[in-house]
């Protein structure tokens, strides 16, 4: 496996804290690309701002590292313009669920063919320890010395009710399952959400054991085609992080699908504009 992973290795020094579970997500993603037989040129990573958003710099592939919260719209534009690319967003809980919240909701409805990987550590790490949208109420953060009062955003439940057809949660402590989820998400031909529970080892909102106690794989009898039970499991986030594939449905129609089909999946960069004759006729 390590030989194949080299295809995606790049000599760029990391800005992450040593030992960060981000490295697990990075390596698992590289392995998943390899397992699917993808090459660097097939992939376009899109990110916003935050620690998770730096990930594209550490994989050899195409990438667009844009603005805070705006990864999904940029990726949607990429997916519209070139359906042959495997478009992947790497983002964090603040980037995706906070600053980019409106885009998150509407991406679920719009359903572009994008794999959305959210590094969810329940904290703003790059700006030094503030609460994030997924911080549990009552927890102390840099700007909430008395504890946060707002309840946490529930991304999985929001995704399921908003029309997302692939909703999963992974845990950096279970890289084998994470690889399975990434590969399934990458082959899903619509928007796929993988929310990854990722302990922050620097700001330590919780000790590592806290996560290990709470992360459990979804029960074997969970049926990911059952939307109501997927939603029920997603609502049970208080004491347990169920990991695995919550919900999966037929992704068609995907965003811009009929346009892509009509143009035989030709990238927009290779398409012709309106001819002079037709332009002249339309201007009469």
Partner 1 sequence: MGEWSIAAAGTAGQGVQTIGEVITVAARKQGYAVFSWKEYESRIRGGQNSYRIRVSEDPKNAPVERMDIVLALNMEAAEKYGFLVKRDGLLLAPESSNKNALAMDFQALANESAGKKIFANAAAAGALAAAMGMNPQGVKSELAARFTEKGAESVAGNESAFQAGYDHAMALCKERRTPSIPDRDQRPEALTNVHEAIAIGAAYAGCRAIFAYPMTPSTNIIGQMAARWEDLGVFWEQVEDEIAAINMAIGASYAGARAMTATSGGGFSLMAEGISLAGMTETPLVIVLAQRPGPATGLPTRTAQGDLQFALNAGHGEFPKIVLAPSDPKEAFHLTVKAFNMADKYQAPVIILTDQHLSDAHFTQDIHPEESEPEYHLARDCENPPYRRYAITREGISPRMYPGQSEHLVCADSDEHDESGHITEDLFNTAPAMAEKRLRKIKAMEREIPEAFTHVPSKSEIILMGWGSSGNALFEAAEQLTQEGRRTGVIHFTHLWPFPELPPLQGEKLFSVENCAFPQLARLVRQETGLSFTGSVLRYDGLPLTGTYIRDLILESL
Q: What are phi and psi of 53, to 5 degrees?
A: -70, -10
CB atoms within 10 A of CB 160: 25
**From 153-161, 172-180, 236-244, 272-280, span contacting partner 1 (CB under 8 A):** 272-280
Residue placing its CB nearer to partner 1 in the complex, 64 or 203 = 64
Residue placing its CB nearer to partner 1 in the complex, 240 or 279 = 279
Residue 278 found at the interface with partner 1 (CB under 8 A)? yes
Minimum CB distance to partner 1, residue 197 (Å): 26
Residue 16 found at the interface with partner 1 (CB under 8 A)? no
Minimum CB distance to partner 1, residue 85 (Å): 5
Residue 42 found at the interface with partner 1 (CB under 8 A)? yes
- Which residues touch 37 (CB under 8 Å, ≥6 apart)? none
Minimum CB distance to partner 1, residue 248 (Å): 25
Residue placing its CB nearer to partner 1 in the complex, 75 or 231 = 75
Write out the two tokens for 153.
């955003």
Handedness of CA 148, 193, 231, 160 (dihedral sign): positive
Residue 127 found at the interface with partner 1 (CB under 8 A)? no
**From 22-30, 74-82, 128-136, 185-193, span contacting partner 1 (CB under 8 A):** 74-82
Residue 268 found at the interface with partner 1 (CB under 8 A)? yes
Minimum CB distance to partner 1, residue 69 (Å): 8
* Count of positions on this chain that bind partner 1 (CB under 8 A): 57
Q: What are phi and psi of 212, to 5 degrees?
A: -60, -35
Residue 25 found at the interface with partner 1 (CB under 8 A)? no
User: Maximum CA pair distance of the chain?
Assistant: 73
Residue 65 found at the interface with partner 1 (CB under 8 A)? yes
Residue 96 found at the interface with partner 1 (CB under 8 A)? no
List 1, 176, 228, 269, residue binding partner 1 (CB under 8 A): 269
Residue placing its CB nearer to partner 1 in the complex, 84 or 264 = 84
Please state, in angstroms and rounded to a whole number, the distance separating the CA atoms of residues 188 and 70: 22
**From 80-88, 144-152, 200-208, 224-232, span contacting partner 1 (CB under 8 A):** 80-88
Minimum CB distance to partner 1, residue 162 (Å): 12
- Binding-site ranges for partner 1 (CB under 8 A): 12, 15, 39-42, 44, 46, 49, 54, 56-57, 60-67, 70, 72-82, 84-85, 102-103, 105-106, 110, 255-256, 259, 267-274, 276, 278-280, 282-284
């Amino acid at each position: 496996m390590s030989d194949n992973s080299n295809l995606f290795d790049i000599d760029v020094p990391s800005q992450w804290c040593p030992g960060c579970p981000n490295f697990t997500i990075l390596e698992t993603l590289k392995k998943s690309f390899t397992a699917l037989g993808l090459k660097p040129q097939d992939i376009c990573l899109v990110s916003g701002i935050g620690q998770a958003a730096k990930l594209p710099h550490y994989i050899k592939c195409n990438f667009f590292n844009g603005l805070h919260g705006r990864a999904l719209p940029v990726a949607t534009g990429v997916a519209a313009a070139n359906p042959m690319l495997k478009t992947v967003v790497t983002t964090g809980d603040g980037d995706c669920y906070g600053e980019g919240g409106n885009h998150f909701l509407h991406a679920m409805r719009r359903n572009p063919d994008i794999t959305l990987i959210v590094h969810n550590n329940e904290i703003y790490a790059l700006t030094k320890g503030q609460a994030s949208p997924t911080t549990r109420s009552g927890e102390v953060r840099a700007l909430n010395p008395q504890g946060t009062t707002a309840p946490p955003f529930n991304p999985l439940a929001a995704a399921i009710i908003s029309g997302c057809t692939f909703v999963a949660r992974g845990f950096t402590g279970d890289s084998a399952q994470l690889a399975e989820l990434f590969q399934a998400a990458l082959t899903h031909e619509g928007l796929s959400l993988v929310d990854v529970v990722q302990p922050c080892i620097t700001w330590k909102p919780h000790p590592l054991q806290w996560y290990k106690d709470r992360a459990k794989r979804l029960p074997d009898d969970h049926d990911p085609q059952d939307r109501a039970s997927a939603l029920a499991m997603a609502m049970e986030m208080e004491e347990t992080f169920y990991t695995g594939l919550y919900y999966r449905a037929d992704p068609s129609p995907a965003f811009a699908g009929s346009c892509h089909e009509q143009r035989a999946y030709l990238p927009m960069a290779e398409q012709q504009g309106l001819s002079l004759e037709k332009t002249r006729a339309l201007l009469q």
